[in-house]
Each structure stands twice: as structure tokens, then as C-alpha cells.
Amino acid sequence: MELSVGVVAGHVVIAVSGELDHGSAGRVRGLLVDAAGERAGPVVLDVRGIGRMDDAGCSALVEACWTIRAPGRRLAIASPSARVRQLLVDTGVHGYFAVHDTVTAAVAPPPPPRVEPAAAKRTALRRVARTARSVSERHRVRTTVLIVDDHQLIRYGLRHVFERDAQFRVVGEAATAAEAVRQAGALQPDVIVMDLRLPDGSGLDATRALRRVSATTAIVVLSMYAGDDQLFGALEAGASAFVSKADPADVVVAAARHAASAPSAFTAANLAEAMRRRLAPEGPQLSPRERQVLHMLAEGLSVAGIAARLGTAESTAKTHIGRLYDKLGAANRAQALMTALRLGLLEAPDSDRR
């Protein structure tokens, strides 16, 4: 029985040839221990050259495998013998050592883990989706915004709100109607957020001027007072949306997004209710108590004065006033009185009573 030691692809290869029987069993075990004991790294035991192996030789082979096995050492066996394979299965050694037909196969690096077709498909789809998102982010066309308001603090707040949204990019600001028209011509924004009241005129006049120049520019009108007169004024001026300054910031952004997609349309909160009030031929139906409160407002009485005259608590008087405002589509006393005069619910004061 002969034993040789070599190195193949970084593996220590111990080749055993000849006959492996009872007489040589102890010797082969000792040789294997000596050959592998001082060498680090993976070891391949090549037993292809063994011509005959009895039961004692098989036992010696198994014992040698266990002997040269060490923590962290990878051991492989090269043997085409079906008997050796079955022996390793029967003794449980196959759970620790890999068996190959050739030394080349034994020293080859382990194959990469097999990816199931479905998993491979999911991985490919995720890779394509990531690439598509990356390309989309690089080439996304953002909606440009021009902010028009005479208060710097409001302009700053609106800029902050829009720049938090990835869809929008603020390209300019204006504090007057004239400046708004000039900036719109120079910057060609997709959306203009326009304050209703400006130092040099009405935001509605600026909206009309801008609409005459472009039918595709989206215009969102902001107003401190969100009564029916302001809402329909924005609609008739050609605005794309009407928003109260009392609304949350996300309402302004949503209105701008809607306006950018449909600049010739019009959107506003409570638009349907305002249309019903306007189209009602007989005007809003006021209860006797609401008519009484309306006349008290026209007299200039305060909430406390109205409550005292009605003989109720101030909270009850506020409730009556609030319901009256809702029916008239008004946001304050002045709007309520103007609407009541227009609808004939109040008589206009004559010149002698001024």
C-alpha cells in the first residue's frame, strides 16, 4: 500500500493506492494522520487507486476520515467506488464529508446557491423596477409655481409647503398684481397661487389679465374671506381653483395639483352648496329668529347686545349668527349684510340715515 501527498488548487491531496486490508489498516490510518496533521486548509482524500478493500480496510478508511477531521477543516473524498459511497452513508460520515468522482471535482469551488425560477423572476423584476424609478426620478418634469401675496411671511410659508412636495418647484414670488403679471410672462409657470387682495389692485383683475394671455396656466386664488361672492368672483375671472386661507396647507397643494392637471376646470370647497344658494329663485329660507338676528346685525349690535335683546346666552346668539352666515354664504358680518341687501332680505338705508 502506497501513500503520496501533493497540493492541487490550494487543497492538500492525500492519494492512497494498492490494497487496503486488515494488515494495512493501521498503517494507512497512521500515514493519513501524519500527512494531514501538520497541514492547514482543505484536504482531499483520493482513494481511487485502491485496488481491493476488505471490511477491515473500509473500517480503517472511515476511522482515518474521522481522525484527520479537524475544526474548520474541509474534507472531501475522491472515489468512484459505490462501496465506499455506501459505507460513508451507512456510517453517517457523508453528512460531514463530500464525495466526488475525481480530484478535480473535489477541489472545485462549491457552486453558487441555486435560485428558484420564481425567485429569480422576482429579483429581476425588482431590479427593473429600481432602474425605472431611478430613471423616472432623474427625468421627472416638476410643476413650476409662482407665489403672489403681499405678505412675505405667507409667501415664505407657501414656498415651504410646495417645496416639501416632490411634484412642485417654486420658481418665483411677487407682492403686487403688476409684478405678478410681469413674473408670469417671464417665468411661464405652470401654476400661479394668487392672493385675492393685493396693494395695487385685485387678484381677480390680475387673474383676468393672465387668462387673456394664456388659457393653459393654472391659477389658484387664495382669500382671507371665503364667501360666495369671492368664490364666484374667482370662477368668473377664469381661476382654476379657489381656496380659503383658513384651510390646511395640504388643501392648497391639492388645489394646485388639480389645477395643474385641468387649468380650465374650477374647483372649490362647498362649491355645490354655493351653487344651490345662488340658483335658488326665492333666496335662502331664513327662520323668524334668523331674520331677527339679521336686522340686529344691520343695526350694528354686538354678539353680547344680540344675546341681551334675545334674552339668551351669548353661545346661543353665536349659533344663530353662524347658521345665518351659512345660509347667506358669508364669512363675516359685512358679507352677510351685502348678500342680504342683494337678495332683498334687507332694505337699503336711505341717504337721510347715513
Q: Regarding predicted confidence, which is higher, 26 or 298?
A: 298
Domain ranges of the chain: 2-107, 143-277, 282-353
Rounded CA separation 255/243 (Å) = 8
CATH architecture assignment, domain 282-353? Orthogonal Bundle (1.10)
- What pLDDT was estimated at residue 353? 41
- What pLDDT was estimated at residue 35? 62
Q: How confident is the model at residue 229 (pLDDT cuts 50, 70, 90)?
A: confident
- What pLDDT was estimated at residue 45? 73
Tell me the residue type at 80.
Answer: P
Among 32, 27, 28, 29, which residue's Cα sits nearest to residue 13?
32
Among 74, 83, 73, which residue's Cα sits nearest to residue 106?
74
Q: Determine the average pLDDT of the residues in 314-336.
A: 89
Please check the confidence at residue 184 and state whether its pLDDT lies above 80.
yes
Please check the confidence at residue 330 and state whether its pLDDT lies above 90.
no
Arithmetic mean of pLDDT over the chain: 79
Please check the confidence at residue 190 and state whether its pLDDT lies above 90.
yes
Is there a contact between 266 and 239 (Cβ–Cβ < 8 Å)?
yes
CB atoms within 10 A of CB 124: 10
DSSP state of 329: T
Contact residues for 251 (Cβ-Cβ < 8 A; gap 6+): 243, 269
Please check the confidence at residue 70 and state whether its pLDDT lies above 70.
no
Task: Beginning with the edge strand found earlier in the chain, give each strand of the sheet holding 241-244 in spatial order.
Answer: 168-174, 143-148, 191-195, 218-223, 241-244, 267-268
Is there a contact between 259 and 240 (Cβ–Cβ < 8 Å)?
yes
- What pLDDT was estimated at residue 180? 94
Q: Determine the average pLDDT of the residues in 109-123.
A: 64
Q: Regarding predicted confidence, which is higher, 151 or 46?
A: 151
Please check the confidence at residue 313 and state whether its pLDDT lies above 70.
yes
Q: Which helix (H) or strand (E) holds 258?
A: helix 249-261
CA 36 to each of CA 13, 32, 108, 124, 330: distance values in angstroms, whole numbers, following the listed order:
9, 6, 20, 45, 97
Query: What is 143-277's CATH number?
Result: 3.40.50.2300
Min mean pLDDT across 232-246, 262-276, 303-317 is at 262-276
Could you write out the DSSP letters of every residue in 26-92? Answer: HHHHHHHHHHHHT--S-EEEEEEEEEEE-HHHHHHHHHHHHHH--TT--EEEE---HHHHHHHHHHT
Among 275, 306, 288, 303, which residue's Cα sits nearest to residue 345?
288
Please check the confidence at residue 8 and state whether its pLDDT lies above 60.
yes
Contact residues for 225 (Cβ-Cβ < 8 A; gap 6+): 196, 244, 331, 332, 335
Q: Determine the average pLDDT of the residues in 274-286.
A: 72
Give the phi and the psi of residue 142 in degrees, each rounded to 5: -85, 150
- What pLDDT was estimated at residue 351? 37
Q: Determine the average pLDDT of the residues in 130-147.
A: 71
Q: List residues bridging with 45 in a β-sheet.
A: 14, 77
Q: How confident is the model at residue 352 (pLDDT cuts 50, 70, 90)?
A: very low
Report the percent of the chain where pLDDT is more than 90: 35
- The three-state secondary structure class of 293 is helix
Q: Determine the average pLDDT of the residues in 13-32.
A: 68
CA 29 to each of CA 6, 67, 75, 201, 273: distance values in angstroms, whole numbers, following the listed order:
18, 8, 15, 105, 98
Rounded CA separation 204/222 (Å) = 10
Q: How confident is the model at residue 259 (pLDDT cuts 50, 70, 90)?
A: very high
Please check the confidence at residue 279 and state whether its pLDDT lies above 80.
no
Report the percent of the chain where pLDDT is more than 70: 66
Please check the confidence at residue 202 and state whether its pLDDT lies above 50.
yes
Please check the confidence at residue 93 and state whether its pLDDT lies above 60.
no
**Domain topology for 2-107:** Transcription Regulator spoIIAA (3.30.750)
- What pLDDT was estimated at residue 24? 66
CA 287 to each of CA 180, 284, 304, 307, 324: distance values in angstroms, whole numbers, following the listed order:
45, 10, 21, 17, 9
- What pLDDT was estimated at residue 328? 85
Q: Determine the average pLDDT of the residues in 162-183.
A: 93
- What pLDDT was estimated at residue 60? 66
